[in-house]
């Protein structure tokens, strides 16, 4: 049975989402004026009646597109998702997965260009029978996680290609059959789980996304979520940094003749643990040792650690980065080693668009998705690098598809079972509905574009406001007493 979603609930949900526009109390306080104008923008869009009109009964053409997406998933693409799940390939090595996806697209009226932006496993697929009009973009991911015992699809990227293709093909067929202006373009974006080079940013800078009017992507989820509008990212702003320590080798029995680079790395971890309590509580710092020597009887003359530093906004993240860099410099000084700091890559805030998110969420609820989080969450752009999501409006569709945690073998197992299959079908259906409305409904398309441009115009002011929110304490010189 499909659940009802009354108009009054839509109004309340919209109000709550704006109220939770940013993730931390500090952000909401420091940028209060920006958020006030954001609320005014959201109110001016009158989204609840627009969402109610779009998602209500009586649109047979929409229902046909949604049904076609489900049919494609049930008959063909769930099997493909399972196959990719069982054959995980990590970033920039996804050759088998890319061949499966691109072969399918070529067989369904798409022209495919591989190796775009100089990335071997990136591709673009353009619908052959498209006509001038809205360009509906769909992002496909397919890389697996790097595991210590084996690589695995613990984030269910294995299903993102099939889900996106089901939605894209259902809408593309509708555009042709109904002679509706518009086209569909799919973007195969590899290596989402690897910091460098960041594929979507590389592709954007190479002009691959040029001409896209909207972008959609699905993702695994432990709940069916209702993101808020504003600035944020799935997994917070990220700096990926490598710390390379150089020492001098020596025999273990005469270690004083050398300088131990591995000890430098260990001291870096110790220093970071020591400063955690004076970092804001939303800070996340995670690191691994990627090189630590070759033999226990030789003092390691090279050791490397890679850290991912995260914070909800990029302003305070800059302070975190400098604190960790200082910790690395101190570790080198303490151990008599030399240090090189390599900034690998970064991920920044994207823009979360309520006009897209609310329609997708409402469809997921109407279609029977499970494990709802009606309370508005933090802003969630559709992709995790921020680069594309600050330039092109988009939506991430996230039906409940796993009872396990992210980046776990449980989540991979769920991709092959009922909870994953059900979530993936619903993702495809909701995505198809959103793209259908963007192609066919001019007032809706205008609302999406107006909201996105309005939020984009506030973005720099938001960052400026935050720069006064994180004062650095003045530390005096030690006294002589």
Q: What is the pLDDT of residues 361-410, one digit of tens each?
A: 999 999 999 998 877 778 888 988 888 999 999 999 999 999 999 999 99
- Out of 5-9, 440-444, 459-463, 464-468, the most confident range is 440-444
469 three-class SS: coil
Average pLDDT over every residue of 311-327? 96
Predicted pLDDT of residue 7: 46
pLDDT exceeds 50 at position 13: no
Is 296 buried (19+), middle (13-18) or exposed (0-12) by CB count in 10 A? exposed
pLDDT exceeds 90 at position 203: yes
What element of type H or E holds 446? helix 442-466
pLDDT exceeds 80 at position 251: yes
Is the CB of residue 158 less than 8 Å from the CB of residue 142?
A: yes
CATH of 237-347, one of 3.40.50.300, 2.30.30.110, 3.40.225.10, 3.30.70.360: 3.30.70.360
pLDDT exceeds 60 at position 341: yes
Is the CB of residue 347 less than 8 Å from the CB of residue 386?
A: yes
Paired sense of beta strands 230-232 and 214-218, if any: unpaired
Predicted pLDDT of residue 23: 73
| Percentages of the chain per state (helix, strand, coil), in multiples of 5 | 50, 20, 30
Average pLDDT over every residue of 325-344? 97
Maximal CA-CA distance, the chain = 86
Average pLDDT over every residue of 234-261? 95
Residue 445's pLDDT band (cuts 50, 70, 90) = very high
pLDDT exceeds 50 at position 68: yes
State both tokens at 429. 């259906």
Spatial separation of the C-alpha atoms in residues 24 and 467, rounded to whole Å: 15
Neighbours of 214 (CB within 10 A): 24
CA 48 to mean position of chain CA atoms? 26
229 three-class SS: coil
Which residues partner with 304 through β-bridges? 244, 291
Helix axes 7-19 and 354-367, enclosed angle (nearest 10): 130
Predicted pLDDT of residue 19: 47
Predicted pLDDT of residue 5: 43
* Percent of the chain's residues with pLDDT above 70: 96
Predicted pLDDT of residue 21: 54
pTM of the model: 0.91
Sketch the domain layout of the chain as residue ranges: 7-234+349-465, 237-347
pLDDT exceeds 50 at position 97: yes
pLDDT exceeds 80 at position 340: yes
pLDDT exceeds 70 at position 236: yes
Q: Do domains 7-234+349-465 and 237-347 have the same CATH topology?
A: no
Is 3 buried (19+), middle (13-18) or exposed (0-12) by CB count in 10 A? exposed
pLDDT exceeds 60 at position 267: yes
165 three-class SS: helix
Predicted pLDDT of residue 232: 82
Predicted pLDDT of residue 344: 87
Average pLDDT, the chain: 93
Is the CB of residue 136 less than 8 Å from the CB of residue 31?
A: no
Predicted pLDDT of residue 31: 92
pLDDT tens, residue by residue, 77-96: 999 999 999 999 999 999 99
Predicted pLDDT of residue 4: 42
pLDDT-wise least confident of 226-235, 321-330, 422-431: 226-235
Is the CB of residue 366 less than 8 Å from the CB of residue 375?
A: no
Average pLDDT over every residue of 185-207? 92
Predicted pLDDT of residue 139: 98
Predicted pLDDT of residue 383: 87
- Tokens 């799935």, residue located: 234
Average pLDDT over every residue of 335-344? 96
Residue 118's pLDDT band (cuts 50, 70, 90) = very high
Average pLDDT over every residue of 196-219? 94
pLDDT exceeds 70 at position 426: yes
Predicted pLDDT of residue 12: 45
Is the CB of residue 350 less than 8 Å from the CB of residue 274?
A: no
What element of type H or E holds 351? strand 350-352
pLDDT exceeds 70 at position 16: no
Q: CA geometry: angle at 412 spanning 406 and 418, to 5°?
A: 110
Spatial separation of the C-alpha atoms in residues 268 and 274, rounded to whole Å: 10
Q: How far is CA 76 from CA 81, 83, 280, in A?
A: 9, 11, 48
Alpha helices in 341-415 (DSSP H): 354-367, 409-415
Architecture of domain 7-234+349-465 in CATH?
Answer: 3-Layer(aba) Sandwich (3.40)
* Percent of the chain's residues with pLDDT above 90: 86
* CB neighbour list of residue 466: distance below 8 Å, 6 or more residues apart: 26, 27, 30, 31, 313, 315, 316
DSSP code at position 221: -
pLDDT exceeds 70 at position 18: no
Average pLDDT over every residue of 285-290? 97
* CB neighbour list of residue 71: distance below 8 Å, 6 or more residues apart: none
Is 38 buried (19+), middle (13-18) or exposed (0-12) by CB count in 10 A? buried
Q: b vs e for 422-443, b when ≥16 Cβ sit within 10 Å of the residue's Cβ?
A: bbbbbbbbbbbbbbbbbbbbee
pLDDT exceeds 60 at position 315: yes
């Amino acid at each position: 049975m499909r659940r009802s979603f009354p108009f009054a609930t839509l109004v309340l949900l919209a109000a709550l989402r704006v109220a939770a526009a940013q993730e931390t109390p500090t952000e909401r306080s420091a940028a209060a004026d920006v958020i006030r104008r954001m609320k005014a923008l959201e109110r001016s869009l009158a989204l609840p009646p627009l969402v109610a009109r779009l998602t209500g009964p009586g649109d047979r053409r929409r229902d046909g597109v949604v049904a076609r997406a489900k049919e494609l998933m049930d008959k063909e693409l769930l099997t493909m998702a399972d196959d990719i799940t069982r054959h995980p390939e990590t970033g920039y090595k996804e050759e088998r997965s890319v061949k499966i996806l691109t072969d399918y697209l070529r067989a369904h009226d798409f022209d495919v260009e591989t190796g775009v932006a100089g990335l071997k496993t990136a591709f673009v697929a353009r619908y052959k029978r498209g006509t001038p009009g809205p360009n509906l973009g769909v992002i496909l991911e397919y890389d697996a996680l790097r595991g210590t015992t084996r690589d695995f699809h613990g984030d269910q990227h294995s299903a993102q290609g099939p889900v996106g293709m089901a939605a894209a093909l259902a809408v593309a067929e509708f555009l042709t059959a109904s002679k509706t202006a518009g086209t569909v373009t799919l973007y195969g974006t590899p290596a989402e789980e690897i910091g460098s080079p960041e594929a979507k940013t590389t592709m954007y800078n190479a002009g691959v996304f040029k001409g896209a009017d909207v972008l959609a992507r699905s993702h695994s989820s432990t709940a069916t979520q209702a993101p808020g509008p504003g600035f944020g990212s799935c997994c917070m702003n990220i700096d990926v940094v490598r710390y390379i320590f150089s020492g001098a080798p020596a025999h273990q029995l005469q270690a004083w003749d050398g300088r131990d680079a591995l000890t430098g790395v260990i001291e870096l971890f110790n220093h970071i643990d020591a400063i955690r309590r004076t970092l804001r509580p939303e800070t996340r710092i995670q690191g691994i040792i990627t090189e630590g020597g070759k033999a226990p009887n030789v003092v390691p003359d090279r050791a490397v650690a890679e850290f991912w530093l995260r914070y909800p906004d990029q302003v305070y993240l800059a302070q975190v980065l400098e604190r960790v860099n200082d910790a690395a410099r101190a570790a080198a000084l303490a151990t008599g080693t030399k240090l090189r700091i390599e900034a690998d890559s970064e991920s920044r805030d994207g823009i979360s668009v309520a006009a897209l998110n609310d329609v997708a969420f409402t469809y997921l609820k109407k279609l029977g998705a499970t494990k709802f989080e009606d309370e508005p969450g933090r802003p969630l752009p559709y992709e995790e690098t921020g680069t594309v999501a600050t330039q092109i409006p988009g939506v991430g569709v996230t039906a409940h598809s796993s009872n396990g945690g992210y980046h776990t073998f449980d989540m991979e197992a769920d991709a092959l079972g009922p909870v994953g299959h059900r979530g993936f079908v619903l993702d495809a259906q909701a995505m198809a509905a959103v793209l259908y409305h963007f192609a066919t409904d001019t007032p809706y398309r205008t609302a999406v574009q107006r909201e996105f441009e309005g939020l984009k115009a506030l973005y720099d002011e938001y960052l400026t406001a935050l720069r006064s929110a994180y004062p650095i304490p003045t530390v005096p010189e030690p006294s002589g007493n």
